[in-house]
Structure 1
Amino acid sequence: MPKSKNNQLKKSLGLSFGIAILIGGTIGVGILRTPGVIASMLDNYWLIIICWLLGGLYILIGANSYAELATMLPKAGGSYNYIKRAFGDYAGFLSGWFDYIANAVPPAFYCIVISEYIVILFPDLESQSTVIAISFLAAFTLLHVSGVKNGSFIQQLTSIIKVLFFVALIVACFIHSGLKFYPIEKDTSFFEMGIVFGFFKSLQLIIGTYDGWYAVCFFAEEDENPSKNIPKSLYTGAIIVIVIYVLINIAFFQVLPVSALANSPLVASDVAKVVFGNKGSIIVTIIAIFSLISILNAYMMIPARILFGLSRDRFFIQHGSRINKGGTPIVALLISSLFSLFLISIGSFEILFSFGTFMTVIVWGLAYCSLIKLRTKEPNLPRPYLSWGYPWTSILMILATLTLLTGFAYSDTKNFVIIIIITIISYPTYLIIDRRNKKK
């Protein structure tokens, strides 16, 4: 189906935005919380650090695959474009809606969590927490209605502030405690089933904390030079995130031992109280708020791009591909914001959020499969960037993703069943939409 210029997004974004959206869309409150849960499952300093490094390796190899896909098909909406090209319209329809749901739920969650952290700083506002959450949603909706440039500027600014806050926290931890080198423990208990299970469960949590590493791919159509900027954004942003995540874990365990942080609901707060005294928890709360504002801005932009792409390919209403003067997919943005408003109002998005992770990993797996399929199906398709280590790196990512899905299905059977039901329902829904499109 030919695409006219009036439903093409403007090319107004560059390398700095690409790096900022990856950092902003990845680093959130998760890194301030997950170290405590992981410490309770592993209770071994080096095992924990290895887990974070393995998670980092996973996203680096993933960035390698996505760099080829996004530069080969630089279109709004990211993953579903590659899957649709490789496996047909139904696969694109299913993966596109999976990706949309997974990315449309977080804005409501982030607005509510920001309001909760603001109430911690200002307890008198406790009765206004829902109003605060809706106010943040409204403010960021208006920001993005005003144009892509404004959203890009805020993303870059908040990402820089976020990185500076985390670097300051890491440096403060090292200054307080010095640098201690832990001996590698000779412990054969790793091979016991309990530790092995904890190791893989920790990897799942860590990869969830790294989620967002491919955010720049949603904006490939708006990049001024996607062939050069997308690979640079993916690798630069991923390396920055990996370094921050590994160093912050090392820094935390310099201040307090693994056993002391096990099961802590907010590890960063416990560490900050030791380093900064009673004001430590306030400092961590401020860091958390800035982290959340940055990630909220990113996730206000991402779902609209997916819905825009789905609309343009006639998998949603035609008006969903409308763009305003500022370059924003305006109808897609407003529909996504209304969905977030609905979730904030009823406060019942936890189920959607949990199986959203399921959906994301399924989409990743299909994207890696599409790289192999397109290499075979369309070998002459222009590829400004070639994935290194092909096909072995792609096969490795597919196997790793299958392992993750198996782990999710085992540990969260309820959401696994929901995913299967949604998949079954999706096919007749697709056939109805396809029949309607053919009549038009």
Structure 2
Amino acid sequence: MGNEKKNHLKKALGVGFGIAILVGSSIGVGILRTPGTIAGVLDNYWLIIACWLVGGLYVLIGVGTYAELSTMLPKAGGSYNYIKRAFGNYAGFLTGWYDYINNSLAPALFCIVTSEFLVVLFPILKSQITIIALGLLIAFTLLHASGVKSGSIMQQLTSIIKVLFFVGFIIACFMYSGVKFNPIENQSSILEMSVIIGFFKSLQMVLGTYEGWSSGCFFAEEDENPSENIPKSLYTGAIVVILIYVIMNMAFLYVLPVSALANSTFVASDVANVVFGENGGVIITVIAVFSILGILNAYMMIPARILFGLSRDGFFIQKGTTVNKGGTPIVTLLISSSIAFVLICIGSFEILFSLGAFMAVIVWGFAYAALIKLRILEPNLPRPHKSWGYPLTSIIMILFSIALFIGFAYSDRKSLIAISIITLLSYPVFLLLNRTNKKNNYDNN
């Protein structure tokens, strides 16, 4: 009985949490900033909207893939489980650690960003940014240490508030009648090479803003009915995010022309200043704070689940499988929070984010390839949900991942070298862990 408490996660989550985690970990400050940069690159109303729709289609294809994989193998930790099953233990070990490194950076970033926005609201706290960030980290660690239900309630609450804020802002934009909607005309042909390059650059930014759409899969093991709940929550959450993003861009372009958006570093603030007057900046800052709190809550939960899965498979310390009475993988939560604590104290770790984005592309590519391989090698595995458009959609996603990898490798040589070194060093570590696990199993027998 004690072993069951120690090594098993609690089945306590449902559709509501699944939708909330996807919405919460996707919608953030990106949608408040990115449209301005994209308007500067594309300078065409319909191209801008098309770019967000294409990004949405990418998400829907990805959701279909992950709905199949996570209901087929409903385990904590997400992608690396499917990659391990398809390509073996080393591939699982490597991509699992890639995924962990990428996700473990997020809590520190979001604690810092939240504290920066709070300082905008309360300037008297200007010298206390690091203290506020550490306070947020400790508060969220204690919340999640109390149990998975607490984290679930917080996720649903912050996601609902966030969506209401965004919907309210969108409605206010469309109710504003000071400027007539008049899309800018563009004389250049849509087929011109510079426009095509600009579209793909913009699409990369759009996909960064959509990131977080696969979050629900990390919690498949804790879902009360993963076969039904995960596909429902993934598709519902994805559609909510896509609608908000596309309509938000239409709302921005309703208030200001493309040329005005193109010069904006924080487009939502500029639009809010037009719609709400001098209170616009405060309103957007409040929306930004709640947006980031939802993401912070999600990313306090995700790294702990990945590390729990890695620990259970012998890819990390055995203590990492410890689960407390509330259903939280407590050891991996504390380890992940400690990493975030150190990163906040260091204060500057932007270079790690380039590395993390690189790693994410590798993990996604392997996950899409795993779907194809498992369909061929294990056709009889139970598949409560099947990916739509297979195999064409899977092939498109693999090719897209390869294209992103090549693009990153070309534009970020330092991260490419770092990943190459990490990969080379990972194999001896994997062999050492394998030998240790075999020895422990032999001693136990």
Q: TM-score range by the shorter chain?
A: over 0.9
Give the conservation status (yes or no) of the 8 Å contact 1:81–1:92: yes
Give the conservation status (yes or no) of the 8 Å contact 1:143–1:150: yes
**TM (normalized to structure 1)?**
0.97
Give secondary structure in 1 for the equivalent of 2:326. Answer: coil
Query: How far does residue 352 in structure 1 lie from its aligned partner after superposition?
Result: 1.1
Match of 1:317 in 2: 317
Decide which moves more: 335-344 or 427-436.
427-436
**How do 1:38-77 residues align onto structure 2 when only pairs under 5 Å count?**
38-77=38-77
CA RMSD between the two structures: 1.6
Match of 2:381 in 1: 381
Give me the whole-angstrom Cα distance separating, in 2, the residues matched to 1:308 and 1:177: 53
**TM (normalized to structure 2)?**
0.96
Query: How far does residue 4 in structure 1 lie from its aligned partner after superposition?
Result: 5.8
Give secondary structure in 2 for the equivalent of 1:264. Answer: coil
Query: How far does residue 233 in structure 1 lie from its aligned partner after superposition?
Result: 0.5
Report the residue type matching 2:27 in the other structure: I
Give me the whole-angstrom Cα distance separating, in 2, the residues matched to 1:178 and 1:301: 44
Give me the whole-angstrom Cα distance separating, in 2, the residues matched to 1:61 and 1:342: 37
Structure 2 spans left out of the alignment, 5+ residues = 441-445
Give me the whole-angstrom Cα distance separating, in 2, the residues matched to 1:437 and 1:263: 57
Decide which moves more: 392-401 or 237-246.
392-401
Give me the whole-angstrom Cα distance separating, in 2, the residues matched to 1:348 and 1:310: 28
Count matched residues: 438
Cα–Cα, structure 1 residues 183 and 257, in superposed 2: closer, same or farther, change >3 Å? closer
Query: How far does residue 358 in structure 1 lie from its aligned partner after superposition?
Result: 1.3
Give me the whole-angstrom Cα distance separating, in 1, the residues matched to 2:58 and 2:413: 24
Give me the whole-angstrom Cα distance separating, in 1, the residues matched to 2:331 and 2:341: 15
Report the residue type matching 2:112 in the other structure: I
Match of 1:111 in 2: 111
Query: How far does residue 196 in structure 1 lie from its aligned partner after superposition?
Result: 2.2
Is 1:274 the equivalent of 2:265? no
Give me the whole-angstrom Cα distance separating, in 1, the residues matched to 2:137 and 2:326: 19
Give the conservation status (yes or no) of the 8 Å contact 2:272–2:281: yes
Give me the whole-angstrom Cα distance separating, in 1, the residues matched to 2:100 and 2:113: 21
Match of 1:433 in 2: 433
Query: How far does residue 173 in structure 1 lie from its aligned partner after superposition?
Result: 0.4
Cα–Cα, structure 1 residues 65 and 180, in superposed 2: closer, same or farther, change >3 Å? farther
Report the residue type matching 1:341 in the other structure: F
Match of 2:26 in 1: 26
Give secondary structure in 2 for the equivalent of 1:56. Answer: helix
Give me the whole-angstrom Cα distance separating, in 1, the residues matched to 2:394 and 2:291: 32
Give me the whole-angstrom Cα distance separating, in 1, the residues matched to 2:125 and 2:205: 32
Decide which moves more: 123-132 or 193-202.
193-202
Structure 1 spans left out of the alignment, 5+ residues = none
Give the conservation status (yes or no) of the 8 Å contact 1:36–1:262: yes
Give the conservation status (yes or no) of the 8 Å contact 2:181–2:255: no
Give secondary structure in 1 for the equivalent of 2:75. Answer: coil
Give me the whole-angstrom Cα distance separating, in 2, the residues matched to 1:82 and 1:4: 24
Give the conservation status (yes or no) of the 8 Å contact 1:83–1:370: yes
Report the residue type matching 1:56 in the other structure: G
Query: How far does residue 184 in structure 1 lie from its aligned partner after superposition?
Result: 9.1
Give secondary structure in 2 for the equivalent of 1:388. Answer: coil
Give me the whole-angstrom Cα distance separating, in 1, the residues matched to 2:50 and 2:285: 28
Match of 2:420 in 1: 420
Match of 1:144 in 2: 144
Match of 1:359 in 2: 359
Is 1:396 the equivalent of 2:399? no
